[in-house]
Chains A and B, each alone.
Chain A
Amino acid sequence: MSTATNLHQVSRKGAAAATGGQPILTVDHVVKSFETPQGKVTAVDDMSLDVRQGEFVSVIGPSGCGKSTLFNMIGGLLSITEGEIAVAGERVNGPHPSIGMVFQEESTFPWRTVEENVAFPLEIQGVGKAERLERAQHFIKLVGLQGFEKRFPAELSGGMRQRVAIARTLAFQPKLLLMDEPFAALDEQTRLLLGDKVTQIQQELNQTVVLITHNITEAVQLSDRILIMTYRPGRTKRIIDIDLPRPRTSEIVGSDAFGRYVAEIWNDLREEASQGMQDEEALAQQRKRP
């Protein structure tokens, strides 16, 4: 590793330590239950998590473990049954100006050009047209889409559209960037390269990020810490610190340390994922019966 890289790494760790006292996100003993015809179902059970300024934390778990429920609760789109979520010291009761969300599904506005999409949150804040387009330009550059400002989303690839969505959320200047499997619909190679882009942006802005994912490689490539969830109800199974050097690129996927982290996480997840699969098969069997 180069000296410059070492220095950068130290300064990042220093910054994190300096602000370590006050987490940006606090998830405190959060429970989410739903009333169903079959009775009460607990989707998320007693989950707690602190995320510090500039930290990249991934939440990983098998399908149906309540990751998206947790995402929607942190984002204020879903009410909490018990416990508390706070962002920048303020309790989350609904959508919060300190939280920017990037969704799994394609979410750009097809009737707006790239720059109009990115400038959208600024338009809502009442920023004048010239200023918001100028500010949007900064975020367009940040996600590497300069030259595509006047294009419509239909003229872009899936990966480019997702970068537009990320730039639009960054233009909102959130203290916490919350992403729900933003690259799930993309192929593995695009996903790795976009991971590089996200890492670069996160470091440049010292952006605090929480990523919800089911992709182990993606989680290890991007994160400082990974929270592994159990399968139904979703609980914290384990939190792993990813002690890989920063700045990081996708080249790291070939390293031994990376492979060990992937194996370790899969070891924890395998049991949960198997349980999920058995449940799905049992459900399919029930549906087959007359």
Chain B
Amino acid sequence: MRSLDRYGPAALGFGGFVLFLVVVEILIRLGLINGYIVPLPSQVIVALERVIAEEGILPRFLLTAGEALGAGLLVALIGIPLGILLFEADLLRRATENWVAAFAAAPIVLVYPLFLVIFGRSSWTIIAIGTVAGLPPVILKTLEGLAGVRPVLIRVGRSFNLTPWQQFRTILFPAAVPTIFAGLRLGLIFAMINVVGVEFLINFGGLGPLINELSERYDMPATYAAICFVVLVSVLFFLAVERIEKWLRPAS
């Protein structure tokens, strides 16, 4: 029973995914899905080896992962302090909160020419766009997390005569960690989408240009195989974020 509790969800998730691939395979083979547009999952699996051996996927994977890491770190290092600043400065919060929220919905990627002018056709453009796209949810969720701390916890801190810094370090921040991390996850999604998207658009960097190139060659199995590596970058980042959150707040 205990092992079912522990491994059951992962096994069900993996099993469901395999079942989905099997169903797609059958539907393509039956001609119900166009095999020219969607490749056979079995061909994608075979193409994984080809992509690794022939397309130099490892350095490309590391480059995209590095850009995503850079954007993710900047999103956290800029977004969380900005959220704290808005929490502390009420006037600033009221003046900018709606703007930040509107910014979250804006298609930042469309202003890539501006970033190209500023940073050139380099990884810095990709990291900068990824960072700008990932900032709004982190700022808003940090603000929401801090503003939502239960008043009684703040009163406990006051009753122990904590300094403002102690109050922030020992009560406000740890209490807000789950909400801040919800924002970080969203921010990372936005950053990741934009990193790969801009790589694709400016044909520079790691996995984005490879996907572009493979799709233009109409090598659909290899295109999907390369997309699998984008998913892998995303999975690795989510696991890392989960680890950091667990470390910061073990009871989460």
Contact = CB atoms under 8 A, between A and B. Distances in A.
Interface of A: 75, 77, 94-97, 99-101, 103, 105-107, 109-113, 120-121, 123-124, 152-154, 172
Interface string B233-252: 00000000000000001111
B150 interface: yes
A112 to B, nearest CB: 8
A184 to B, nearest CB: 13
Nearest to A104: B152
Contacts of A109: 153, 171, 174-175
Q: Which of B158, B160, B166 has the most CB of A within 10 A?
A: B160
Contact of B159 (A100, A152, A154): A100
Nearest 4 interchain pairs by C-beta: A101-B159, A152-B251, A105-B152, A95-B161
B177 interface: yes
Given A120-B170, A124-B170, A152-B251, A107 B161 contact: no
Contact of A124 (B155, B160, B175, B249): B160
Interface string B156-179: 101111100010001100110100
Interface of B: 150, 152-153, 155-156, 158-162, 166, 170-171, 174-175, 177, 249-252
A75 B159 contact: yes
A111 B162 contact: no
A99 B155 CA distance: 13
Instruction: State the majority secondary structure of interface residues on A.
Output: loop
A185 to B, nearest CB: 12
Nearest to A95: B161
Contact of B252 (A107, A111, A120, A124): A111
Given A100-B159, A105-B150, A106-B152, 11 more contacts: A75-B159, A77-B155, A101-B155, A107-B156, A110-B175, A111-B174, A111-B175, A112-B251, A124-B160, A124-B166, A172-B160
A124 B249 CA distance: 19
A77 B174 contact: no
Contact of A77 (B153, B158, B162, B249): B158
